[in-house]
């Protein structure tokens, strides 16, 4: 969608429903459209190339970037970092284990729980998927100059503070 078409649609909202129109639409509508483009593109890469969901990749990434060389965390550490419920993390871990991307290890400090380790195959898949995702995202931002990217980053961080 081009800029003129987008502005025409927003203007239509202003004319047809002035009671809900707000100037912020000129910012948030393009923002959500870009977010949707990023989300759909990354989802397609994950699902079509790697047959994994966002949740599965999030868990693998969490293990890959853990603070230890063995890529090991407890399920509790994973769901705390990712803000998943324990039920959701259990389901994701089961799928990853079935695919051979993770293994469960006995927890020597707590016999009631196990630890989760990313396998070599899981590590490779995770790195390839993340590389493809980052390349796609880089392509999405490639229309911006270096200065525009810096400005975008500063403004986004300002909005998040």
d(CA 137, CA 1): 19
pLDDT category at 2 given cuts 50, 70, 90 is: confident
Write down the pLDDT at residue 152. Answer: 96
Write down the pLDDT at residue 69. Answer: 85
Quote the DSSP letter at residue 47. I
Torsion sign across C-alpha atoms 131, 54, 33, 41:
positive
Determine the average pLDDT of the residues in 82-92: 90
Q: Which residues pair with 117 in a beta bridge?
A: 72, 103
d(CA 102, CA 119): 5
pLDDT tens figures, 91-102: 999 999 999 999
Domain residue ranges in the chain:
1-51, 52-132
- Which is higher by pLDDT, 3 or 95? 95
pLDDT category at 111 given cuts 50, 70, 90 is: confident
| ∠ Cα 25 54 75 (to 5°) | 125
Determine the average pLDDT of the residues in 131-154: 97
d(CA 22, CA 153): 25
d(CA 79, CA 88): 9
pLDDT tens figures, 21-79: 999 999 999 999 999 999 999 999 999 999 999 999 999 999 999 988 899 999 989 98
Please identify, in words, the CATH class of the domain defined by 52-132: mainly alpha
């Amino acid at each position: 969608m081009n800029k003129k078409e987008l502005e025409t649609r927003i203007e239509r909202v202003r004319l047809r429903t002035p009671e809900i129109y707000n100037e912020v639409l000129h910012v948030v509508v393009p923002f959500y459209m870009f977010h949707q483009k990023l989300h759909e593109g990354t989802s397609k890469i994950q699902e079509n190339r790697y047959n994994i969901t966002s949740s599965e990749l999030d868990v693998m990434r969490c293990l890959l970037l853990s603070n230890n060389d063995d890529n090991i965390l407890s399920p509790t550490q994973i769901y705390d970092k990712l803000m998943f419920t324990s039920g959701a993390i259990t389901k994701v871990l089961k799928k990853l284990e079935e695919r051979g991307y993770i293994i469960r290890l006995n927890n020597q400090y707590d016999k009631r729980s196990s630890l989760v380790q990313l396998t070599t195959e899981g590590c490779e898949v995770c790195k390839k998927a993340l590389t493809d995702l980052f390349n796609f995202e880089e392509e999405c931002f490639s229309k911006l100059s270096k200065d525009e990217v810096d400005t975008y980053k500063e403004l986004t961080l300002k909005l998040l503070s």
